[in-house]
Structure formats: C-alpha cells, structure tokens
Amino acid sequence: MKLQRHGLVVALAAAGAILLAACGSDPNSGSGAAAGSSSANSPAVDCNGKASLNAEGSSAQKNAMDVFAQAYQAKCTNAKIAYNPTGSGAGVKQFNAGLVDFGGSDSALNATNGETTAAAARCQNNPAWNLPMVFGPVAIGYKVNGVSSLTLTGEVAAKIFNGQIKTWDDPAIAALNSGVTLPAEPINVVFRSDDSGTTDNFQKYLKASSKGAWTQGDGKKFNGGVGSGAQGSAGVAQALAGTEGSIGYVELSFAQDNKLDMAKIDSGSGPVELTDATVGKAIAGVTVTGQGNDLVLDLTKTYAGPPAGSYPLFLATYEIVCSKGYDAATATAVKAFLTVAATDGQANLAAAGYAPLPAEFQQKLLTAVQAIA
C-alpha cells in the first residue's frame, strides 16, 4: 500500500511524549495468538478476532486509515480492514444500519437528529461511543490569480461563505490584506455537496468566530446558500484547483495534494498561518465533554477564542463504535484494530498530514477501546 506523504508535521504543543508501541515486536504478532505490546502502558493486541473488518465514513480520515490498516496488518498478518471513504453522514448511517463494524465521522453522534438513539439500537440497546482517533487541520483553500497570500477573519470568511461578500476586491477583504492587489472578479465558493463532518466543523467555526455574521447554523449539510458543491474532500480540492476565483474548505492533506494556496486566519492577534506549531497550540487546550468512555471533544470554545498565535480551524475524526453489542469475534477484531491505530498506527500520521494523538488523549482512548465488550 503506497502512502501519500505531506509536508506538515503537526506538533502538539504541551502534549507531552506520544506513547507508541513497537510494530511487530512480539514473535506471535499476526500468527493468530495474542500479540504483546512493547510499551508497559499499552494493552496487548489480540489477533484472534474475525479476519475482515468493514468500516465506512469520513473521507477526511482516509489517508489516516491507510496508515492504520498498514500497521494493523503488520501486527495481525491474517487480519484486514476495508474502509470506504463515503463521507461522515454515510458512515453514521451505515453504522446505525448495522452494515459496517464501525463508522468514521468528523462530528460526534448528534442526539438532536436521532443519531445517538439509532446507534444505541444498532448496538443491542447499548450506548455507542465516539472515539477521537485523528486530528486534522482544515484549510481555507483558494485560487486567485496573483494572490499568493490572503488573510481572513472569521467574520469575513462567514460573509464570503453566505454570499454577503461577492467579489475579491470587496473592502472588507482589502482591509485585511494591505498591499495585496485583489482582482475585481466574482468569488466562487466551493462546498461539500455530501453530508460531511468537515462541513459541520467548518460551520461551527464560522458560527463561533464570526461575531454574528454567520446565521445559517451548523450541521453536515452546507447552509450558506451560495456556490457550487463537490463530492467528498478530493472533489472539493480538485474543484478549487481548477476554478479561478474559487474558495472553499478542505482538509490539509487534500489542499497539499492539489497545491492550493491557504488563507491565514486572524482571530484578533494578527494573521496566523497554518503550520505545525500554530495548529498544535490550538489543539493543546481542547477538553473532553463526553461522559466516561464516550470521548466527545468541545471544539467550540477553541473556535470562538483560540490562544493568541494559534490556527483554530481543525477537526477531530471519531470512530463510532458499540460499547457493547458486538458478537465476540467482531468485538475482538474492533478492539485489536483500534488498539493498533492508537499506538503503532500513530507513528506515520504526521507524514500523512495529520496530528498524532496527544499522550493524555491516547491513554483515555486506549482505556475506552479496552472497555468495548
């Protein structure tokens, strides 16, 4: 399996050392016997579950899942996983319908629209858990001839994405970009046409950071009412790369793949570029609001008031799993895959454009994974 490589290594400020298990260190790894971890803080990996797992969902975590799958097959050589990157909305629906073993989503299950109840029913009347496995920066990518540097605030971004600002030379954009020649051409907004956790996070960011300019709410469907849609993260990035005057939101790895220019964000302390240090500074303060082993994260506070000098636009990708309700073979395999993903699988995430788990999150995640029954 060939893995894509990306330039950004997202460091997590104040996160501490990442506790990684050595890949394949146990001579029984992949033989069907339980494979021990080389880290005293990491649980053993039992490779005796069912041979093939199926999962579906977030396209934002597709490259991360490739990394995890490679690590899983190195640890459990007779096991495999098939991941279909159809988008967060589809992943939740397929999981709730019992068609996949776990779902991938850029947003936690939504109780208001019935996702939490449907997931519990799928899990034989047991709660489903949201387990954050991947952090991914979201870029505001654009293509404007002659403009290689662009600064936006949450307020100006909101007005672009809901159609209040229609041309690139609008005074509100010009005021943030002194010395930049902005063309008098229409702004072509590109958004995700499918249900997407990336869209949900982006709209939550606009709602929290725009000082009331974004009134369209959030959710997995884009509510801005302007622009043209594209399917999946890859579709958005390709549309941006091929459309003059375009702007859209897309995960960093896809922006890098398509060589998109990326806007800086000014949250009040000056323009901040999307870099390893600035993303890590924002991620470091995020807190868990879920109960027990349901590790839902609160990103809204970070979106609304990020630390000075931080880049606040990022998402957390969750794996949606049953706390109980799997058959024994499936539960063993799900636990094995997620344990490897949270340990060995973290080693190559930075090269794929993602942020490795902070150490404190990793330990909470491993505790939750081992509690799956």
Instruction: Assess if residue 62 is contained within a domain.
Output: no
pLDDT in tens, 321-335: 999 999 999 999 999
Q: Is 219 left (phi over 0), alpha (psi -120 to 50) or beta?
A: left
Q: Is the pLDDT of residue 172 over 80?
A: yes
* Average of per-residue pLDDT values in the chain: 88
Confidence of residue 2 (pLDDT cuts 50, 70, 90): very low
Q: Is the pLDDT of residue 156 over 70?
A: yes
Q: How many domains does the chain have?
A: 1
Instruction: Assess if residue 213 is contained within a domain.
Output: yes
pLDDT in tens, 6-24: 433 333 333 333 333 333 3
What pLDDT, on the 0 to 100 scale, is given for residue 52?
A: 98
Query: 295, exposed or middle or buried, with CB in 10 Å at 0-12, 13-18, 19+?
Result: buried
CATH number of the CATH domain containing 143: 3.40.190.10
Q: Is the pLDDT of residue 246 over 80?
A: yes
Q: Read off the pTM.
A: 0.72
Mean pLDDT of the region 277-302:
86
- List, in sequence order, every beta strand (DSSP E) within the chain: 34-35, 45-46, 52-57, 80-84, 102-105, 128-143, 151-152, 188-192, 228-230, 246-251, 261-262, 264-266, 271-272, 287-288, 297-298, 314-322
Collapsing DSSP states into helix, strand and coil, what is residue 317? strand
Q: Is the pLDDT of residue 249 over 60?
A: yes
Instruction: Assess if residue 95 is contained within a domain.
Output: no
Instruction: Assess if residue 167 is contained within a domain.
Output: yes
Q: Is 107 or 14 the better-scoring residue by pLDDT? A: 107
Mean pLDDT of the region 347-356:
83
Which range of residues forms the domain containing residue 260?
137-281
CA 368 – CA 366 distance, rounded (Å): 5
What is the residue type of 292?
Answer: G
Q: Is the pLDDT of residue 43 over 60?
A: yes
What pLDDT, on the 0 to 100 scale, is given for residue 33?
A: 33
Nearest CA among 9, 79, 14, 27 for reference residue 50: 79
Q: Is the pLDDT of residue 124 over 50?
A: yes
What pLDDT, on the 0 to 100 scale, is given for residue 16?
A: 36
Mean pLDDT of the region 234-246:
97
Instruction: Assess if residue 119 is contained within a domain.
Output: no
Instruction: Assess if residue 94 is contained within a domain.
Output: no
Instruction: Assess if residue 249 is contained within a domain.
Output: yes
What is the residue type of 145?
Answer: N
| CA 54 to each of CA 103, 192, 366: distance values in angstroms, whole numbers, following the listed order | 9, 24, 21
Tally: H helices and E strands in the chain: 12, 16
Instruction: Assess if residue 201 is contained within a domain.
Output: yes
